[in-house]
Amino acid sequence: MDPAANSVRLAPDVVVPLITQLFAAEGPGGPPADRPVRISALVSFQGDRRTRTERDLTRIAGALVAEALRQATPAQALQEAAPAEARNGRDGEAERAVTDALARSLHALGTVDMDDVRAVRLGPEAFARHLAVAAPDADRELPHAAARLHTAILHAVCDQILRFLVRRSAFVARGLAERAAATDAAFEEVYARGIIAGHDHLTIYGIDLAHSPDTWPLDAAYLSLETETDAGPTAPAEQALAGHDRVLLWGVAGSGKTTLVQWLAVSVARGRLSGQLARLRGRVPFVLPVRRFRQGGFPPPDRFLSAVRHPQADTQPDGWAERVLSAGRGLLLVDGIDEAPEGDREQLRQALRELPARYPGNVWLVTSRPSAVRENWLAAERFAELKLAPLSSEGVTAFIQRWHAAAREDGTDLDRLGSYEETLLDAVRISRELGRLATNPLMCGLICALHRDRRGYLPRGRKALYDAALSMLLERRDRERAMVPPDGIDLPQEPKIRLLQKLAHWMLVNGRSEMDRAVALETFAQHLPSIPHAARQGEPEEIYRHLLHRTGLLREPTPGSVDFVHRTFQDYLSARAVVERHDFDFLIDHAHLDDWEEVIRMSVALARPDECAYLLEGLLAARKGTRPVHARHRKLLAAACLEHATELDPAVRSRVHRYTRDLVRPTSLEAARALGWIGPIALEMLPDPTGVSDEEAHRLAVTATSIADDRAIDYLTRLRDRTSWAVRSQLARAWRRYDTDRYADEIIAHLEEGELDFPVSDAAELSALRRLGGRPCVQIAGAFTPEQLTEGLVAERLTELWLSYDLGDGLDLSWLAAFPRLHTLRLSPRNAGVTGVPEGVQVIVTGS
């Protein structure tokens, strides 16, 4: 369609009555509405049922042109149509010329050889071309710009004409619907195959890139993640999602948000969903990474595919996405709100208010880093808020075992991989520092890869871990295998890092997590002359391809764009670039933005002592015009950075403590949870809880249990003797975050049992609780077999049991007869159909 057509809009309430006048009124003797009818038999300005004259046709055309100009910018439209006349004040002549041309084009409705069914099938653009062929002289006398305006208005008018034909005839509407349904079904088969091809794989960092692919089948590599809420226990993510149609899912970098999105999309596309997720069968998944959205915010449904540059974007049937959503068949996976510039997030939020309301019945999953959006960000739109939980000890074990199983597929190191797996499992259990790092799939993957790469040796600390990962990915693998560079380019590690830093720094400055390939090439062209070792080996295009294919750090998610395999690498390289450029004022100026947090933390880890001091002092300093919430954020960020500073003036450390001491007495539960993100350093600043009220003790417990570090146990021991149910419940729910046996002995063993459900999420916790003598009220949050529960629970003590996981096919609960004192059984609504409950046991169905 002519680009000018995009600028013409016709308001239906004005235009529909005008379009209706072009056609004869329905009545006795009129054309039938149950079969195709020639359009020439329907018009009102010719034939036996004529009610309009040529003058009426001109009047209608004039009103349509006037409305089109009113919806556009009239002066601009007329200047474009006839600039000379407009400058001389003869706008009316230009408008009359376009009106006459449109009247001649509309007159062709009476001569075009076409019925209503065929016209509707053609669509407005092709139908407008047919009218133009039937009236070839309509715009012949118009200047070029005026002719373009006429064409644009004609296209818009034809769209309304075809809508009228559909409304007029149930036969046309039914045929159009049947044709659309067949076309949609055929397209959805192709689209499903595209979703599977595009997302049915995961990158596993560190697998030998020379002898095997760096991606693995999703089914083999996917690790079921767990979610948690403030009000209840953890649950498998698939189970938690099954109970909601709208979910906002929080997760830190590397926690598996995108992996979960991929798994859901592929599972729905394949139709392989069981249990509670079976309700998603037949839905159409839309994977919508926010980083792909261009300026303009959330795309409308007809641009979902083009906005994310999906391969099938140009072949989708007109109106397909709109029909899917209108029928309530969509699964919308909006991934990475945090990857939108902060200024755009309110616009995204508005779209997430409007679209679910406009298209009810669809399922929505929105993901974000926790710091990017506040609590209850979408609560008014009935989005449930869930958090991806850190990997439990069993989850870490499962990941390490899964990783090594995948690694064996490459056929190398087979004699060593078994011992690597065993020693790494032991190291993660024994080393507190390593356990702190292995909290999500990304970090677990890095640890596994480095452990294998370094023959069982692991660096300590996050900075050392990332430096070692860069060394592994950029140099050591190819060099230690004595590989001949396949592209003839042999770059040492440092020039590669310098070039990658340039891309990461550009993304940081421009607030992007993805850049156009052309921009990457321009960036290399600008900086290659200052990196002679790289400049001698190739042009920007060649260096780009080398880094893309040989580093394992870059990827092209769609043709024409490039990003880092994970945001964490981008943040780390950005921090290196900033520190080398001494851009500490630049960091300080942006410290209130949540997507700069990781860059600032890593900059502290990379900086020299005097630079650390300057950066931390800058975060503490008062800044004119700073909002109170931003000032508080900056001070807490300074506190969070302390654990990353290798060397720091004690006076600066003391000032950070002094400035933040009052900030770590939270006055609300939301503030208490927010404090947890600053990490273990917060434990040093929290007040002594022994003399505070129960309400404040609860808030302090929430903060401390938000810090997944065993050092929190030492603080929590000072809360374990509280009689407050809220405090005791908070401590009990946090068990899974810490060393199982130590937490059992130092916390669980001391909690007063009254009215308290003790949660159990894995076999280790079940065993520990039995060792403590059992408890009367137990909440089972992990998936167990009846045999495990009858053996693990203490039968003589159990009086109340809460099965809060999805029982699946195990709905026969006759095994509960093994617990003679059991009198109450609580179940989630999805397990309400159980059978075999022993007589005398009351069943209570609770909220999920």
Note the pLDDT tens digit of each residue in 620-649: 998 888 888 788 888 888 988 888 888 999
User: So what's the pLDDT on residue 88?
Assistant: 44
717-734 average pLDDT score: 94
Q: Pick the closest to residue 46 from 38, 55, 54, 36 (CA basis).
A: 54
**What's the whole-model pTM score?**
0.57
SS3 26: coil
Q: Is the pLDDT of residue 660 over 90?
A: no
Q: Pick the closest to residue 617 from 585, 643, 646 (CA basis).
A: 585
CATH architecture designation of domain 189-199+226-388: 3-Layer(aba) Sandwich (3.40)
User: So what's the pLDDT on residue 613?
Assistant: 95
Based on its alpha-carbon atoms, the radius of gyration of the chain, rounded to whole angstroms, reads 33
pLDDT bucket at 220, cuts 50 / 70 / 90: low
Burial class (CB in 10 A: 0-12, 13-18, 19+), 657: middle
Q: Judge whether 666 and 690 are in contact, CB under 8 Å.
A: no
User: So what's the pLDDT on residue 362?
Assistant: 94
Find the range with the poorest average confidence among 126-130, 310-314, 486-490.
486-490
E-strand stretches of 235-350: 235-236, 246-250, 284-289, 330-335
Q: Judge whether 97 and 146 are in contact, CB under 8 Å.
A: yes
Q: Pick the closest to residue 283 from 295, 298, 273 (CA basis).
A: 273
Q: Is the pLDDT of residue 3 over 50?
A: no
Residue 613: CA atoms inside 13 Å, Cβ hemisphere, count? Answer: 12
Q: How far is the first Cα of the chain from the last one, in angstroms, to the nearest whole number?
A: 52
Whole-angstrom distance, CA of residue 330 vs CA of residue 324: 6
pLDDT bucket at 340, cuts 50 / 70 / 90: confident
Strands 824-827 and 842-845: parallel
Residue bearing tokens 């190739």: 538
Average pLDDT, the chain: 83
Distances (CA, A) of 654 to 231, 621, 650, 686: 36, 14, 6, 15
CB atoms inside a 10 Å sphere around CB 688: 9
For 525-536, the pLDDT digits (tens) are 999 999 988 888
Q: Judge whether 390 and 440 are in contact, CB under 8 Å.
A: yes
Q: Judge whether 250 and 388 are in contact, CB under 8 Å.
A: yes
706-713 average pLDDT score: 84
Q: Is the pLDDT of residue 246 over 90?
A: yes
Structure token digits, residue 524: 């290399």
User: So what's the pLDDT on residue 7?
Assistant: 54
Whole-angstrom distance, CA of residue 715 vs CA of residue 314: 59
User: So what's the pLDDT on residue 81?
Assistant: 46
Q: Is the pLDDT of residue 486 over 60?
A: no
pLDDT bucket at 344, cuts 50 / 70 / 90: confident
Whole-angstrom distance, CA of residue 278 vs CA of residue 771: 39
pLDDT bucket at 209, cuts 50 / 70 / 90: very low
Whole-angstrom distance, CA of residue 316 vs CA of residue 324: 12
CB atoms inside a 10 Å sphere around CB 12: 10
122-135 core/surface letters (b: 16 or more CB in 10 A; e: else): bebeebbbbbbebb
Q: Is the pLDDT of residue 483 over 50?
A: no
pLDDT bucket at 242, cuts 50 / 70 / 90: confident
Dihedral angle sign, alpha carbons of residues 650, 652, 653, 654: positive
For 61-88, the pLDDT digits (tens) are 999 998 888 766 444 444 444 444 444 4
Whole-angstrom distance, CA of residue 377 vs CA of residue 383: 9
pLDDT bucket at 233, cuts 50 / 70 / 90: low
Angle at 8 between CA 6 and CA 12, to 5 degrees: 120
Q: Is the pLDDT of residue 219 over 70?
A: no
User: So what's the pLDDT on residue 501?
Assistant: 95
Burial class (CB in 10 A: 0-12, 13-18, 19+), 60: buried
Q: Pick the closest to residue 707 from 639, 657, 628, 768 (CA basis).
A: 639
Burial class (CB in 10 A: 0-12, 13-18, 19+), 376: exposed
810-820 average pLDDT score: 89
Q: Judge whether 378 and 337 are in contact, CB under 8 Å.
A: no
For 395-447, the pLDDT digits (tens) are 888 888 888 887 777 667 777 888 888 888 888 876 666 776 677 777 787 78
Q: Is the pLDDT of residue 566 over 90?
A: no
Q: In 50-169, where does DSSP find H-type helix?
A: 54-71, 74-81, 83-87, 91-107, 116-122, 124-134, 144-168
pLDDT bucket at 676, cuts 50 / 70 / 90: confident
When mean pLDDT is compared over 193-207, 293-307, 410-424, 730-744, the highest value belongs to 730-744
Q: Judge whether 523 and 503 are in contact, CB under 8 Å.
A: yes
User: So what's the pLDDT on residue 206?
Assistant: 45
Q: In 472-555, where does DSSP find H-type helix?
A: 477-480, 493-509, 517-527, 532-535, 540-550
Residue bearing tokens 């979703």: 195
For 135-174, the pLDDT digits (tens) are 888 888 888 888 888 998 998 898 888 888 888 887 877 7
